[in-house]
Structure 1
Amino acid sequence: MKRARIIYNPTSGREAFKNKLPDVLAKFEQAGYETSAHATTGVGDATEAARIAVARDFDVIVAVGGDGTINEVVTGISDADQRPRLGIIPAGTTNDFARALNIPKAIDKAVDIILANHTCKLDVGRVNEHYFVNIAGGGKLTEVSYEVPSKLKTMLGQLAYFMKGVELAPRLRPIRTRIEFDDKVFEDEIMMFLIANTNSVGGFEKLAPEAKMDDGLFDLLVLKKSNVAELVRVLSAATRGAHFDDANVFHARAKAINVYTEEKMQLNIDGEYGGLLPGKFTNLKQHIEYFVPTPDQATLQIEEPIEEALE
């Protein structure tokens, strides 16, 4: 019999998943899985729970929570030679990675995607000793994600980041940065850089519209030194996917990227603090096999009504 381990953040999504856990376990059992669950207790616990699940030879791990929980689970299985297949049930605020995979927030629908058994092998990023599934970056603007309240993220999505970025703009200072990507070099004063593995970043679904999750390549985006007016212009263009035409934006695609700075710059990994630069970024091509919607399921996805998100 197939064995599944559900690793969930009990505080995510207003505890909606915790309340539905008995129904989810029953549904997995009916589909032929021997299923158990682990509720995380704090930062890093999902990583340890995933490592234990790997050691116990579970066939499937299901990560339930936001991008941080998914990142921890991926970290827990990425070092293994034999990695379980990974299912996602989104229960966070922005859920960038789930959105990139077209997985809905409705728990029943997300479970149906896993049980449909349609999978795809996707890339994982690694920087220094950390893994990331969605985005890594640095610069003062990336620290906006730490300062936007969770409630505001839930209510306003990308607009929350836009507002906070404009608010912080007058006190942001560029940092001289050298970026080596494959056999090329970019060097300039920058406001931030982003290394994207998906097209959905901080609620911006068009920030890296050509990003593919299984080609072994990152999308590198750099915002050069900008004043407040230029920053507002770029952020506005980014909501439409028109920022590549801006002279203050540099874009490239690469499988390996090294970033060096002349002064301290924090590293942001999937929306969380990841230490300090310099950083060596490597793309692990098709490293983990995920459950994704079947073509029929993908065509039926309906975005959650905003009234439900605001409850």
Structure 2
Amino acid sequence: MRTKPELSADIHRGRRAALVVNARSRRGRQHYQRTLSRLRAAGFDLLGAYPVDRPGQLERSLREAVDLGPDLLVAGGGDGTLSTAARLLAHRDMALGLLPLGTTNNFARTIGVPLDLDGAVDVLSRGKVIDVDLGLAGDTPFANHVGVGLSADIMLRTPPRLKRAVGRLAYPLTALALLARHRPLRATVRVDGVAHEFVTHQLFVANGGFHAGRRITADADADDRLLVAYPVGGPTRRGLLADTARNATTGHRRTLGDTPFLAVGELWLETDRPARVEVDGELCGHTPIRLGLDANALRVMAPADSLDR
């Protein structure tokens, strides 16, 4: 494995890259050709370019891109796309480049990558390689979060056409439609032999610093060796709505020491009935589930002034 400065230097000098864009993401289809043009104008030697427009094709295209042996694998799409790329690149001598073309772009926000195409390409061209943690949901790595409760039902029910039409507003619109018949869960988070119980419609466990395009807390990020578990609201639907609004407007002012956040390295999550689990926006099994960390598992291209622990 090269050191991070060595890999950064090789990317800047050789510009050997491969590109995979999820053309089914909200902005992927319209930006694929622009992305090709911007990367070539920045001097990148594209060993391969893959527009993904069919279900089931993404992971195969990412694996083909990895097999080309680039120094930088550029992935364009939403958080699900970038999380899939992160899983495949974990512990490889290769950096992940982020093109945030999705709905909420939580991972790109956490890393500090601009959400506009030109800004993101500039990070690929002028940035540096850092390493960040990945979470583990059972044996499945994740970049951003695990959700249990309403969010998993939202992932199952939100129409792709609605996401493309209204962006991240698609999720609260779907939530409102589902909430009338949603039952709260009794969730137990076990940490070092201590049980923390919550009765809630929604519980998240985050690896990164953003959720739904908003800050979780001012001091949470993807390189702090911590997972952050927190319920959203209590047993009532009104409490869920109030807490959702509060989180969206005050996250940048809150810290990991505030209630109700649990900042831990590992936990066991169980619920009073089997509940769907969504991992970075993709359904992935049911509770109970162990959640942990894979520290410094992923190398990613970040802005040149990024901190790297």
Q: What TM-score do the two structures reach when normalised by structure 1? A: 0.81
- Corresponding residue to 2:235 among 226, 232, 236: 226
Matched, 1:8 2:30: no
Shift of 1:149: 4.4
Quick one: distance in 2 between partners of 1:121 and 1:219?
19
Quick one: distance in 2 between partners of 1:221 and 1:46?
31
Shift of 1:215: 1.3
Quick one: distance in 1 between partners of 2:125 and 2:283?
34
Q: Give 2:73's aligned amino acid.
A: I
1:71 match: 83
1:117 match: 127
Q: Give 1:20's aligned amino acid.
A: R
Do the aligned partners of 2:39 and 2:121 also contact (CA within 8 Å) in 1? no
Shift of 1:115: 0.8
Q: Cα deviations across residues 165-217 of structure 1 (Å, max 9, x unaligned)?
A: 444333221223221234532134332210112222123x1333321211110
Do the aligned partners of 2:16 and 2:71 also contact (CA within 8 Å) in 1? yes
Quick one: distance in 1 between partners of 2:191 and 2:245?
27
Shift of 1:104: 2.5
Q: Cα deviations across residues 53-86 of structure 1 (Å, max 9, x unaligned)?
A: 43443211000111111111112222xx434101
Assess, with a 3 A threshold, how the Cα gap between structure 1 residues 158 and 36 changes in structure 2: closer, same or farther: closer
Any gaps of 5 or more consecutive residues in structure 1? Answer: 297-311
Quick one: distance in 2 between partners of 1:156 and 1:99?
19
1:46 match: 58
2:3 match: none
Q: Secondary structure at the match of 1:120?
A: strand
Q: Secondary structure at the match of 2:223?
A: coil
Alignment: residue pair count: 288
Do the aligned partners of 1:46 and 1:76 also contact (CA within 8 Å) in 2? no
Q: Secondary structure at the match of 1:57?
A: coil
1:304 match: none
- Corresponding residue to 2:268 among 244, 258, 263: 258
Do the aligned partners of 1:50 and 1:77 also contact (CA within 8 Å) in 2? no
Any gaps of 5 or more consecutive residues in structure 2? Answer: 1-13
Q: Aligned Cα RMSD in Å?
A: 2.8
Matched, 1:138 2:148: yes
Q: Secondary structure at the match of 1:20?
A: helix
Q: Secondary structure at the match of 1:173?
A: coil
Q: Secondary structure at the match of 2:133?
A: strand
Assess, with a 3 A threshold, how the Cα gap between structure 1 residues 239 and 67 changes in structure 2: closer, same or farther: same
Q: Secondary structure at the match of 1:241?
A: helix
Q: Cα deviations across residues 246-303 of structure 1 (Å, max 9, x unaligned)?
A: xxx732101112112231200011112112222111111121111112349xxxxxxx
1:303 match: none
Matched, 1:26 2:40: yes
Assess, with a 3 A threshold, how the Cα gap between structure 1 residues 271 and 282 changes in structure 2: closer, same or farther: same
Quick one: distance in 1 between partners of 2:217 and 2:168?
14
Shift of 1:132: 1.2
Do the aligned partners of 1:6 and 1:63 also contact (CA within 8 Å) in 2? yes
2:301 match: 291
1:61 match: 73
